[in-house]
Structures are given as C-alpha cells and as structure tokens.
Amino acid sequence: MSLRILSLNVWGGKLHAPLIPYLVEANADVLCLQEVVRSPETTSEWLTYRDRDVELPQRANLFDEIRAALPDHDGYFCPTSRGELHDGNRMVHAEFGLATFVRKSLPVIGQALDFVHGAFSPDGWGKHPRPRNAHCLRIFDYEAGFSITIAQMHGLRAENGKGDTPERQAQADALVQLIGRVWPGNERLIVCGDLNLLPNSDTFTVLGNLGLADLVTGRGHADTRTSYYGKPGRFADYMLATPDVEVVVFDVVAHPEVSDHRALLLDLR
C-alpha cells in the first residue's frame, strides 16, 4: 500500500473547470495547495485581483469548492492575508493562503502553522515581499504502520527575482524551526510547495541538513511550469524527501494543465 501526496499552486482557481476534476481524479491522500482563495462575504463565483498591470480572475470560494469535492478529506485553510478583490464595481474582502487536505482515514497526530516571512496582514495584501506561512502535519498511516511528517510552504516572491536574499535565508531557517516543532527526526519527512526558488538556492543546503533531497531536480525534471506561464525560468515547485522515503512513483505532471504550475505527485512507501 502506498501513500500519495500532491503539491500544486492552484493559481487562485483561474483554470477552475479542469482543476476541480483533476484534484478528485488524482486521488491523493494528502493535498498541499498554494494560492487558495476564500471570500465568505460574497456568493459570486468569480472575483478579480488587480495590481498595477496584473489582472487575474480568482475563484471566490475555492477552498470551500475543493472541500466539497473531497468529502473524504479534512481541510485546513491557512491564510496569510486578507485584502480586497473586485466583484464587478464592488470591492469585497478575500483571504489568501495555503490549504491542506488529508484523507480522513489518516489521523493527524501533530501539526504546526506559522509564518516564515512577515506576519498576518488583515488590512490588505501589502507590498512585496508579502507575508508567507508554512503548514506542517504529522499523520499516521494505519495500513502501512508508520507516521510521516509533511510540510508545505509558498515561498516569498521578490520583485527582483528568485535569487538568494537575506529574507529567503531567514525564511529557510524559519521553515526548519517550524518542522522541528512537529517532526521527531527519526521518521519520513516530506517538504513541498511553490518555493519560488532557483535550484541552486542556499535554501536547499539548509533543508539538506535535515537529510532532505529534492525529487524534481534529482530526477532530471527541468520544468515545473505549464504553457500558461510565459516568462523565462521554469523552476518554482519542489518536493523534497528524506532517504527513508521509498519512492514508488514521482511525476511532475505536464497534462492536464490546471494552473500555470505543474502538479507534483508522489507515491511512497
């Protein structure tokens, strides 16, 4: 029996039509999702995010829609900020952040949620680099007879690119501290997400001190973006594992395209 973990930046649900069926059909036991939106103030299906020359449709209550599509999972919504989105000519508040879904047959026996950059912003999205958090869960697999710790993060976005900065160094250190609050150090550990980093980042050295190695670059994948992403630099998403993780299958999913990021899919024993 293998355990399936999926990591995906869902792009605010812009490609909603293929996204929801894919999340169901992927049949993952744990889903680590970034750029998830929730807006309890509105019953509208779509809102619009505007920032200077950027205009992006956002699925207003994407978290609730995913939760409804995955009735066999418990959902955890972890916002980093609350800002305003456009509902036609009206402005409504929306929350933005991470979402983690865990199959109900897998008990959560430990968890920690905290900020790895900045702090919760209740009154607007703020300037870049904006707040970022990470969510770490420890679950038990009854069938396999072991526990495993899984952490996800949406790495900070800097306007000057994905190179190493003091803020990214501090983010890496904060992530390691968060993991240490949950992971006992003697069991399987997975870290994943849209880390917004280059493959040679010092962050991977920091995570390597926990025994983690990246499966994306380590297995020869050179692209984690889809055709919806037109900029150079095709790395953003990573999944790292400790040596005791027996990889059955690992895929950087090219099709279907459900975001401007590709999904990362891991079956492990």
pLDDT per position as a tens digit, 170-192: 999 999 999 999 999 999 999 99
How far is 37 from 64, CA to CA, in rounded Å?
A: 9
pLDDT given at position 114: 98
* pLDDT interval class at 247 (50, 70, 90): very high
Q: Angle, nearest 10°, between helix axes 16-25 and 62-69?
A: 40
Q: What is the pLDDT of residues 43-94, one digit of tens each?
A: 999 999 998 778 999 999 999 999 999 999 999 999 999 999 999 999 999 9
Please state the rounded mean pLDDT for residues 202-216.
98
Please state the rounded mean pLDDT for residues 86-110.
97
pLDDT given at position 139: 98
**Global pTM value:** 0.98
Q: Give the distance from CA 145 to its chain's centroid.
A: 26
* pLDDT interval class at 159 (50, 70, 90): confident
Q: Does pLDDT of 195 surpass 80? A: yes
Q: Give the distance from CA 141 to its chain's centroid.
A: 22
The lowest-confidence range among 36-40, 96-100, 127-131, 217-221 is 127-131
21 upstream amide cis, omega within 30 of 0: no
pLDDT given at position 127: 86
pLDDT given at position 54: 85
Those residues with Cβ within 8 angstroms of residue 201's Cβ, 6 or more apart along the chain or in another chain = 162, 163, 164, 168, 195
What is the per-residue burial (b if ≥16 Cβ within 10 Å, else e) of 4-15? bbbbbbbbbbbb
Contact of 241 with 150, CB cutoff 8 Å: no
Q: How buried is residue 256: exposed, middle or buried, by Cβ count under 10 Å (0-12/13-18/19+)?
A: middle
Tell me the one-letter amino acid at 98: L
Tell me the one-letter amino acid at 169: Q
**Residue recorded with tokens 């993060």:** 153
